[in-house]
Structure 1
Amino acid sequence: MRAMRREKREITDISALKEILDTCRVVRIGTLDEEGVYIVPVNYGYEWEEAPGEKPVLKLYIHSAKEGRKADAFARRQEVSFELDKEVGVIRGDYSCSYSFAFQSIMGQGNIRKLSDLEEKKRGLTLLMEHMEPRCSISFTDEMLAAADVYCIEASWYTGKERRPAL
């Protein structure tokens, strides 16, 4: 992957990336289908998978209806990009073009895979529910699991970036 142009804005600390993932509620997934480029916002759950001597692997879990453009696009093409961002606030300036915006974000790429094993689907949906509403009582029947499509994006590449507010 191309190096970040403004290296001082790169977030490499995993705990800082985790804080962004914990704060955000929506990930935007980009793919390509027969109609063109397609971006879809979805809720997610996530986990890290340790890789000895390497950056941990980020896994994002999402769910979907079994039909529709999103399901068709994911079935057609497994390569996806993703982005999520946390608003920090407006950076005020002396004139209109000196204004900016403080943020933290994560962008990445990976392969999306539809989960078929019921235990995998349960794990993905549990992580999603724990992320969205940690106090929620979570239980799934086999019928519920069979009715939903659950996907895992295993990120082959990801990076964090931030623009800090002016002091």
Structure 2
Amino acid sequence: MRQDIIHDPAKISWILNQCNILHLGLTNDHGAYVVPVHYGFTQQNDGSFVLYIHGTGDGEKAAALDSGKAIGFEVDHGHENLVYTPPSPTEFNPSFMSVIGNGLPERITDSQKKANALKAIIHHYVAKSPVAIIPDEVKDINVWQIKVSNITARVSSPTKSWQQALHLNQPLNRGKHYDENGGLLYDDFADQPVDNDSEDSDASTGASTTKD
């Protein structure tokens, strides 16, 4: 069994809060497919999770969610921090945190529960709703809840802030850290930060240290 799988609901909740897009794993007559959606969530008293999504009520996604079949889901975040650990040329990995799981979707029909679900979605992205959400005014919006059956998380090549927030024991990856454009941010083995404006290149990878 893998030692880096996270089951702690508090840590999973923290990771869910960092991510922005939920990927639904659905099926139809053509096979399996993935749909990205915005989402919100709540954590129940027993530690279990309920996810909330909304969308049109007459498409393939709605049909899959209304089928009564269990669906899969995934969220991820933090790939901006790339770490290259010499001397192995294959040790070039992005940091990331992710949550995967499955659960049973159910369309919400009660107006008050629907309003609460929409608040959870909005509050996932902003601290305060820009407008009041009144149950009678959202009765025609299509909203689903996903009662999570199984859920786990994983963190790879954690940054120092992730390590502190999640109380992780796994060590920080030491090496050369790059941004998403291939620019060298800093080198753990160097005495001082690298100037991103230099035209230097990494001899091991051929990656330029100059940002676009």
TM-score, normalization by structure 1: 0.86
1:159 corresponds to: 152
Check if 1:59 corresponds to 2:50: yes
Question: RMSD between aligned alpha carbons?
Answer: 1.7
Structure with the larger helix share: 1
Q: CA, structure 1 residues 77+38, in 2 after alignment: closer, same or farther (shift >3 Å)? A: farther
Which range is displaced more, 94-103 or 37-46? 94-103
CA deviation after TM superposition for structure 1 residue 141, in Å: 4.1
Deviations 1:36-66 (A, max 9, x none): 1021111111111122xxxx11110110111
Matches within 5 A, 1:80-159: 80-88=71-79, 89-94=81-86, 95-142=88-135, 144-159=137-152
**Rg larger in structure:** 2
Distance in 2, matches of 1:110 and 1:144, equals 28
Q: CA, structure 1 residues 75+12, in 2 after alignment: closer, same or farther (shift >3 Å)? A: closer
Check if 1:34 corresponds to 2:29: yes
Distance in 2, matches of 1:40 and 1:149, equals 16
Distance in 2, matches of 1:149 and 1:21, equals 23
CA deviation after TM superposition for structure 1 residue 142, in Å: 4.6
Structure 1 spans left out of the alignment, 5+ residues: none
Distance in 1, matches of 2:17 and 2:9, equals 12
1:13 maps to which of 8, 11, 16: 8
Q: CA, structure 1 residues 75+93, in 2 after alignment: closer, same or farther (shift >3 Å)? A: same
Structure 2 spans left out of the alignment, 5+ residues: 159-172, 175-212
Deviations 1:46-87 (A, max 9, x none): 111122xxxx11110110111211112212243111100111
Distance in 1, matches of 2:154 and 2:139, equals 38
Distance in 2, matches of 1:13 and 1:146, equals 35
Distance in 2, matches of 1:133 and 1:162, equals 25
C-alpha contact 2:114 2:135 (8 A) present in aligned 1: no
Count, aligned residues: 158
